[in-house]
Structure 1
Amino acid sequence: MERRNFLRASVLGTGAVAFSGSLWHNAALAAPAQNAASPYGPLQAADTRGIQLPAGFTSQIVARSRQTVTGTSYTWHDAPDGGACFADGTGWIYVSNAEVSASAGGGASMLRFNSSGTVTGASRILSGTNRNCAGGKTPWNTWLSCEEVSDGRVWETYPFGGTAAVRPAMGRFNHEAAAADPVRRAIYLTEDASDGCFYRFVPTTWGDLSAGTLQVLRAGTGTSGSFTWGTVPDPDGSPTATRNQVSGAKRFNGGEGCHYANDTVWITTKGDNRVWQFNLAGSTYELAYDDSLVNPGPAPLTGVDNVTGSSFGDLYVAEDGGNMEICMITPDDKISVFLRINGQSSSEICGPAFNPAGNRLYFSSQRGTSGSSSGGITYCVTGPFRT
Structure 2
Amino acid sequence: MDRRNFLRAAMLGAGVTAFGNTLTPSAMAAPAQNGPSPYGPLQATDANGIQLPAGFASRVIARSGQQVAGYTWHSAPDGGAVFADGTGWIYVSNSEINPGGGASAIRFASNGSITGAYRILANTRQNCAGGKMPWNRWLSCEEVDRGLVYECDPQGTASAIQRPAMGRFKHEAAAADPVRKVIYLTEDVTDGCFYRFIPTTWGDLSAGTLQALKAGSATSGSFTWGTVTDPDGSPTATRSQVSGAKRFNGGEGLHYANDTAWFTTKGDNRVWQLDLAAGTYELAYDDSLVSPGTAPLTGVDNVTGSSFGDLYIAEDGGNMEICVITPDDIVAPFLRVTGQSASEITGPAFSPAGNRLYFSSQRGTSGSSSGGITYEVTGPFRT
Q: What is the TM-score with the length of structure 1 in the denominator? A: 0.93
Structure 1 residues 68 and 74, CA gap change in structure 2 (3 angstroms): same
Equivalent positions of 1:43-122 (< 5 A) are 43-69=42-68, 72-102=69-99, 105-122=100-117
Separation of aligned partners in 1, 2:210 and 2:93: 25
Per-residue displacement from partner, 1:12-37 (whole Å, max 9, x unpaired)? xxxx9x97995559646553000110
Q: Supply the distance in 1 between the matched residues of 2:149 and 2:21 (Cα, whole angstroms).
A: 30
- Cα displacement string for residues 305-326 of structure 1 (whole angstroms, at most 9, x for unaligned residues): 0000001111000000110000
Alignment match, 2:16: none
Q: Which runs of 4+ in 1 moved over 2 A?
A: 18-31
Distance 2:232 2:20 in 1: 41
In the alignment, is the contact (CA less than 8 A) between 1:197 and 1:216 conserved in 2?
yes
Q: Give the whole-Å Cα distance in 1 for the aligned partners of 2:83 and 2:265.
A: 26
Amino acid at match of 1:272: D
- Residues 138-147 or 159-168, more deviating: 159-168
Deviation at 1:262, TM superposition (A): 1.8
Give the equivalent residue in structure 2 for 1:150: 145
| Structure 1 CA distance for aligned equivalents of residues 205 and 50 of structure 2 | 39
SS at structure 1 position matched to 2:67: coil
Counterpart Cα distance in 2 of 1:233 and 1:129: 26
Q: Is the 8 A contact 1:142 1:159 kept in 2?
A: yes
- Any conservation in 2 of the 1:26–1:261 contact (CA below 8 Å)? no
Change (3 A) 1:21 1:190: closer
1:1-387 equivalent positions in 2, closer than 5 A:
23=22, 27=26, 30-69=29-68, 72-102=69-99, 105-160=100-155, 161-387=157-383
Question: 1:263-318, CA deviations, whole angstroms, 9 ceiling, x for partnerless residues?
Answer: 10011000000000000010000000000000112000000000000011110000
Counterparts of 2:277 and 2:302, CA distance in 1 = 24
SS at match of 1:204: strand
Name stretches of at least 5 consecutive residues in structure 1 with no aligned partner: none
What SS does the aligned partner of 1:248 have?
coil
Asked if 2 retains the 8 angstrom alpha-carbon contact of 1:196 and 1:255, the reply is yes
- Matched residues in 2 for 1:351 and 1:295: separation? 28
| Deviation (angstroms), 1:234 | 0.3
Separation of aligned partners in 2, 1:124 and 1:29 = 41
Cα distance in 1 between the residues matched to 2:80 and 2:103: 9
8 Å CA contact 1:25–1:331 kept in 2: the answer is no
Identity of aligned residues (%): 75
| Distance (Å, rounded) in 1 between the aligned partners of 2:339 and 2:233 | 41
Q: Which amino acid aligns with 1:213?
A: T
The C-alpha deviation readout for 1:91-117, integer Å capped at 9, x for no partner, is 000000000012xx3100000000111
Cα distance in 2 for partners of 1:170, 1:286 equals 25
- C-alpha separation between the residues in 1 aligned to 2:34 and 2:235? 45
In structure 2, what residue type is equivalent to 1:129? Answer: T
Partner Cα separation in structure 2 for residue 92 and residue 58 of structure 1: 20
